[in-house]
């Protein structure tokens, strides 16, 4: 049996696809795997911030299309890149193990940065939360793969990047600080992988179930429910991180902020695993309502 896996062409994306391939081969010895490389809008348009070229989904739509039209059997994504609503015809069959979901700084530590130091990031979520802590900092957009971004470190400044990306590329030593979630909450799904197959492919759904991590699924689904309820993506300063305790209880932390970081609204909900979607939705209602009251977004947004 041969399984074709659609993936973006970056070193990180291929690492992720190869990791999923290895997990599948552990479950099904003798399984042949072929990678199908797909270029996405996000890969082509490195001259513009993600929010200006479509926001969430610009790194996945073409990869999903390869599965839907039969060029591939599976698609492997960074879970943070997936739109919060399901794609018709596709099924997320596995959320395998999750790497460190936190954001990292490369080039220095937050407390040590001089006034008006430059922070390189294209994420409004990261900007808003860092500006809330250090309003004296300056921010600059940066795009490209992780090695490219590391090569653009400004003198006396820092780059913000997902810790998981550094770990997976063997560049963990480039992290000069891991940002605690109470300083910067990560993007929904950060550090997790998501594997999609066609919804009607029962054989692959069964195969993917064998590499699904129930705790990772519970956490990521709670985070995605939060984002889906808000209706936001990369264009909103929002973040969420969920975890599963030893008793099976799911705890979700979330944030909604103003673009300049002058207002930061945080919340937390906990409950049984079976209520994970409701936890995310309730937290979105709470913070969305607070955001409207604070004048951050028009009521129609929420």
- The pLDDT score that the predictor gives to residue 46 is 52
Q: Is the pLDDT of residue 48 over 90?
A: no
- pLDDT tens per residue across span 233-270: 545 799 999 999 999 999 999 999 999 999 999 999 99
- The pLDDT score that the predictor gives to residue 144 is 85
Q: What is the DSSP letter of 174?
A: G
Q: Is the pLDDT of residue 133 over 70?
A: yes
Q: Is the pLDDT of residue 128 over 50?
A: yes
Contacts of residue 75, Cβ cutoff 8 Å, sequence gap at least 6: 5, 6, 7, 60, 63, 64, 66, 67, 90, 195, 196, 197
- The pLDDT score that the predictor gives to residue 50 is 47
Domains of the chain and any CATH numbers: 2-96+192-212 (3.40.190.10), 103-178 (3.40.190.10), 225-295 (3.30.160.40)
Beta strands in 64-137 (DSSP E): 74-78, 90-94, 103-106, 118-120
Q: Is the pLDDT of residue 285 over 60?
A: yes
- The pLDDT score that the predictor gives to residue 297 is 63
The pTM for the full model equals: 0.91
- The pLDDT score that the predictor gives to residue 52 is 44
| Contact predicate 270/244, CB 8 Å | no
- The pLDDT score that the predictor gives to residue 235 is 59
Q: Is the pLDDT of residue 84 over 70?
A: yes
- The pLDDT score that the predictor gives to residue 302 is 46
- pLDDT tens per residue across span 134-167: 999 999 999 788 999 999 999 999 999 999 999 9
- The pLDDT score that the predictor gives to residue 279 is 98
- The pLDDT score that the predictor gives to residue 299 is 45
Rounded to 5°, angle at Cα 148 from 146 and 152: 110
Contacts of residue 258, Cβ cutoff 8 Å, sequence gap at least 6: 128, 237, 264, 294, 296
- pLDDT tens per residue across span 182-211: 999 999 999 999 999 999 999 999 999 999
Q: Is the pLDDT of residue 58 over 70?
A: no
pLDDT classification of 41: cutoffs 50, 70, 90: low
- The pLDDT score that the predictor gives to residue 1 is 84
| Residues tagged active-site | 81
- The pLDDT score that the predictor gives to residue 94 is 98
pLDDT classification of 59: cutoffs 50, 70, 90: confident
Contacts of residue 55, Cβ cutoff 8 Å, sequence gap at least 6: 233, 234, 235
Report residue 129 as tokens.
């939360």
Q: Is the pLDDT of residue 45 over 80?
A: no
Q: For residues 282 and 83, what is the distance between their CA atoms, to the nearest angstrom? A: 19
pLDDT classification of 53: cutoffs 50, 70, 90: very low
């Amino acid at each position: 049996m041969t399984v074709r896996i659609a993936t973006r062409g970056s070193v990180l994306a291929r690492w992720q696809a190869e990791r999923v391939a290895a997990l599948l081969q552990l479950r099904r010895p003798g399984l042949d795997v072929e990678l199908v490389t797909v270029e996405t809008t996000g890969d082509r348009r490195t001259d513009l911030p993600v929010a200006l070229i479509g926001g969430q989904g610009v790194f996945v739509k073409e990869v999903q299309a390869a599965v839907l039209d039969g060029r591939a059997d599976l698609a492997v994504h960074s879970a943070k890149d997936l739109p919060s609503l399901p794609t018709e015809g596709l099924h997320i069959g596995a959320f395998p193990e999750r790497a460190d979901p936190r954001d990292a700084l490369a080039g220095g530590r937050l407390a040590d940065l001089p006034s008006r130091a430059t922070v390189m990031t294209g994420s409004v979520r990261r900007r808003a939360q860092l500006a809330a802590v250090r309003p004296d900092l300056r921010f600059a957009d940066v795009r490209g793969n992780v090695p490219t971004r590391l090569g653009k470190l400004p003198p006396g400044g820092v780059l913000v990047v997902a810790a998981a990306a550094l770990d997976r590329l063997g560049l963990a030593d480039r992290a000069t600080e891991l940002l605690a979630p109470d300083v910067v909450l990560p993007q929904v799904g950060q550090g997790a992988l998501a594997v999609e197959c066609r919804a009607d492919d029962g054989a692959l759904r069964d195969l993917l179930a064998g590499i699904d991590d129930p705790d990772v699924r519970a956490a990521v689904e709670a985070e995605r429910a939060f984002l889906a309820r808000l209706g936001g993506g990369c264009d909103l300063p929002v973040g969420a991180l969920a975890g599963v305790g030893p008793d099976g209880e799911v705890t979700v932390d979330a944030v909604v902020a103003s673009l300049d970081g002058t207002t930061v609204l945080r919340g937390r909900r906990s409950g049984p695993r079976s209520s994970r979607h409701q936890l995310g939705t309730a937290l979105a209602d709470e913070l969305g309502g607070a955001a409207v009251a604070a004048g951050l977004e028009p009521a129609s947004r929420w």
